[in-house]
Amino acid sequence: AMQGAFQGRAAVLAQLVGRWAAYSKDGDMVGGDLPGWLPSLFRRAGAAALTDRRGECVYAGCPHYRKCFIERAERAGREADIVIANHALVMVNAARGRPDAPTRIVFDEGHHLFDAADSTFSAALTGQEAIEMRRWIVGPEGKSRGRRRGLAARLLDVCSYDEAGAEALDAAVEAGRALPTDGWLQRISDGDPFGPIERLLGHVRGTVYARSKAQEAGYGLETELAEPDGALISAAAGAMEALEALARPLAALTRRLEAILEDAPDWLDSQARARVDGAINGLTWRRETLGAWIALLGRVGGVGDPDFVDWLAIERVEGREYDMGIKRHWLDPTKPLAKAVLAPAHGVLVTSATLRGTEGWPSADARTGASHLTGKSAHFEARSPFDYGRNAEVLVVTDLPRGDIAALAGAYAKLIETAGGGTLGLFTAIQRLRSVHARIADRLARAGLPLLAQHVDPIDTGTLVDIFRDDPRSSLLGTDALRDGVDVPGESLRLVVMERVPWPRPSVLHAARRLANGGSAYDDRVVRAKLAQGFGRLIRRQGDRGLFVILSSAMPSRLLTAFPPEVTVARLPLDAALARVRRKLSGEGGGEPIAQSDETLDRDAAFLGGGGDSRSGGSGGGETGRG
């Protein structure tokens, strides 16, 4: 990044990050010591452009290879007794067959396993994915500059000693030119696509717009991959031929590089060996991706696989298209999770405070893949150390008109003022969050109650949570990321307000899973899990006290089992709810006023397996990448 590939403001960001890297403890740009506000001063993907997200690393070909944070961490990890990593990274390494895969795994936050596996073991043939594939193979073209290097730049010196390898390299680069290139989105919009992949994407776009029933402007559109017309089938066949023509030379090049490593010539020093090994790993990854794309295209016009859900999609932000393509997810993503991650392990332990829910251990086994293993899983449960009946209440406000943003904003303002801040507001839609924030931010600021908001303040979520944690009079509005990942013990969080029941967003994938898993009962399981996670933000350690408020009279009684049985649940109008909040937080509702404590405990359930046939496991969400 620091070798002349950036200009303008991107260069300023690169220089600032370079200075930070000289003093950073671990070089972690996401969860480390990089100031969270810094990337927000530049373009949206500016910081991400400085990380290795899609295998851009050239390993020993980089002058910073020996002092690279990632390489140092990987070397240390190979010698460590315990390695702490995010769930998705564990899954990806297992899926790629990394030889150093762990044999014993502990997964915390086990309720995220299903979603993490859903993301890891999916496939998407989209314009953005295809153009990244082209850039990795072909490299910079025309006047474009950047840190990316194509296969020729990475391997030309190696292949110059191997005629068969050089031929495969040339064929791969030439076949890669059939993939989309810069300006693909505009060409498709203009009806002038270039190459077989862009033609396919053009037909995908036309089909989605013709079939989609969504009326909300600005949001993504999708439709089932069912009964495609002849033009789409023909375009898919042409795209499949192009991808197969690319896969063949990549496979040949991989074989030649493996042969070079097996029978190492005199010129292959340690740095060249590391570079060749890195190229083999990158080629294997791309070949697996191509294989998934080819299988997906074979589905167009053919018979669907009952294990998968396929659909056509257009991704949009505020009405602007930025990607489109064909997507495939497992109907049950815990099947590949069990096969790739759980079965090879000697033992797996999964912990979660909300994984089992009210349906017992079979539900937990199903959500983590343990039900797909041949052995029997062992289970363990411990009671929560928290006195929820004494320290928490659930209030359902019954007199707010549905869809009335002014009334919703007024309720939020009154609740925050009554609590004196310390409020976490959870929304199911970004647009409603922004509307409420715009109506109440000034009012609360005049009262000395700062209001922070995800998707409004140009600060990353982690920094917003840090600010919220440090100021007991501040409040924070957010969406799913805050419902699942906020740990704010003590006085800084004493009121959680959810603007409506978090029903799943209608989608092709959700409809298929709903049909396969009991219809409305599946929806109820999903909502109960979200409610339990939201309630779990409230009591994080001994001495915490607070209330969980739902601003919707449409809250079904059957979903109240998401909360601990000893918690008081009351349906009441807003004025009465405000009085309950005032009384509870002042200590009049039982117990002592909010106090600080050093003891933090929030896990009350777990299930485990280890050795032999007794295995179970899972993983949590997050993005993978080097950076």
Residue predicted with more confidence, 48 or 12: 12
Q: Is 343 inside any structural domain?
A: yes
- Summarize the confidence of residues 114-127 as an average pLDDT: 94
Do 626 and 577 share a domain, yes or no? no
Judged against a pLDDT cut of 60, whether residue 157 lies above it is answered with yes
Judged against a pLDDT cut of 80, whether residue 258 lies above it is answered with yes
Question: Which range, of 87-96, 129-138, 215-224, averages the lowest pLDDT?
Answer: 215-224
Residue predicted with more confidence, 285 or 216: 285
Q: Which residue has the tokens 């944690």?
A: 469
Q: Are 325 and 127 in contact (CB under 8 A)?
A: yes
Do 291 and 237 share a domain, yes or no? yes
pLDDT tens by residue, 593-622:
433 333 333 333 444 444 333 333 333 333
> Residue 431: in which H helix or E strand, if any?
helix 430-446
pLDDT of residue 490: 87
pLDDT of residue 594: 39
Copy the structure tokens of residue 439.
Answer: 């109506």
Residue type, 159: C
Copy the structure tokens of residue 152.
Answer: 């020729």
Judged against a pLDDT cut of 80, whether residue 335 lies above it is answered with yes
Local confidence band at 339 (pLDDT 50, 70, 90 cut-offs): very high
Mean pLDDT, rounded, of the chain: 84
Q: Is 40 inside any structural domain?
A: no
- Summarize the confidence of residues 176-200 as an average pLDDT: 95
Local confidence band at 53 (pLDDT 50, 70, 90 cut-offs): low
Task: Tell me the C-alpha distance between 150 and 262, whole Å.
Answer: 24
Q: Is 42 inside any structural domain?
A: no
pLDDT of residue 483: 79
Local confidence band at 44 (pLDDT 50, 70, 90 cut-offs): low
Q: Strand locations in 318-433, DSSP E?
A: 320-330, 347-351, 378-381, 392-397, 423-426
Q: Which CATH number belongs to the domain containing residue 414 in this structure?
A: 3.40.50.300
pLDDT of residue 330: 96
Cα–chain center distance at 342:
21
Question: Which range, of 200-214, 266-280, 395-409, averages the lowest pLDDT?
Answer: 266-280
Q: Where are the alpha helices (DSSP H) in 65-150?
A: 69-79, 87-95, 113-120, 127-138
Task: Tell me the C-alpha distance between 555 and 530, whole Å.
Answer: 13
Task: Tell me the C-alpha distance between 381 and 353, whole Å.
Answer: 9
Do 554 and 438 share a domain, yes or no? yes
pLDDT tens by residue, 167-184:
999 999 999 999 999 999
CB atoms closer than 10 angstroms to residue 33: 13
pLDDT tens by residue, 543-600:
889 999 999 999 999 999 999 999 999 999 999 999 999 999 987 655 444 333 333 3
pLDDT tens by residue, 481-520:
787 767 888 889 999 999 999 999 889 999 999 999 988 9
Do 164 and 299 share a domain, yes or no? yes
CB atoms closer than 10 angstroms to residue 185: 20
Question: Which range, of 135-144, 150-159, 587-596, averages the lowest pLDDT?
Answer: 587-596
Do 424 and 570 share a domain, yes or no? yes
pLDDT of residue 212: 81
Q: What's the structural domain count of the chain?
A: 3
Residue predicted with more confidence, 107 or 101: 107
One DSSP character per residue, 27-89 reads --SSSSSS-TTSGGGS-TTTTGGGSBSSS---GGGSTTGGG-HHHHHHHHHHH-S-----HHH
Range of the domain at 530: 389-585
Question: Which range, of 232-241, 434-443, 479-488, averages the lowest pLDDT?
Answer: 479-488
Q: Is 446 inside any structural domain?
A: yes
Q: Is 39 inside any structural domain?
A: no
pLDDT of residue 220: 87
Do 93 and 188 share a domain, yes or no? no
Do 132 and 155 share a domain, yes or no? yes
Copy the structure tokens of residue 353.
Answer: 């405070």
Three-class SS of residue 395?
strand
Task: Tell me the C-alpha distance between 118 and 617, whole Å.
Answer: 15
Do 285 and 180 share a domain, yes or no? yes
* CA dihedral sign of residues 479, 483, 485, 489: positive
Local confidence band at 442 (pLDDT 50, 70, 90 cut-offs): very high
Q: Is 181 inside any structural domain?
A: yes
Do 448 and 516 share a domain, yes or no? yes
The percent of residues in the chain predicted with pLDDT above 70, rounded, is: 87
Residue ending a domain, choose from 304, 327, 350: 327
pLDDT of residue 475: 96
Do 432 and 487 share a domain, yes or no? yes
Q: Is 9 inside any structural domain?
A: no
Do 221 and 316 share a domain, yes or no? yes
Residue ending a domain, choose from 281, 302, 327: 327
Task: Tell me the C-alpha distance between 445 and 102, whole Å.
Answer: 50
- Summarize the confidence of residues 405-424 as an average pLDDT: 96
pLDDT of residue 45: 64
Report the range out of 11-20, 516-525, 581-590 with the highest average pLDDT. 516-525
Angle between helices 163-176 and 127-138 (to 10 degrees): 150
Do 201 and 343 share a domain, yes or no? no
Local confidence band at 146 (pLDDT 50, 70, 90 cut-offs): low
Q: Is 3 inside any structural domain?
A: no
pLDDT of residue 482: 81
pLDDT tens by residue, 345-401:
899 999 988 888 777 888 899 999 999 998 888 999 888 888 999 999 999 999 999
Q: Are 541 and 600 in contact (CB under 8 A)?
A: yes
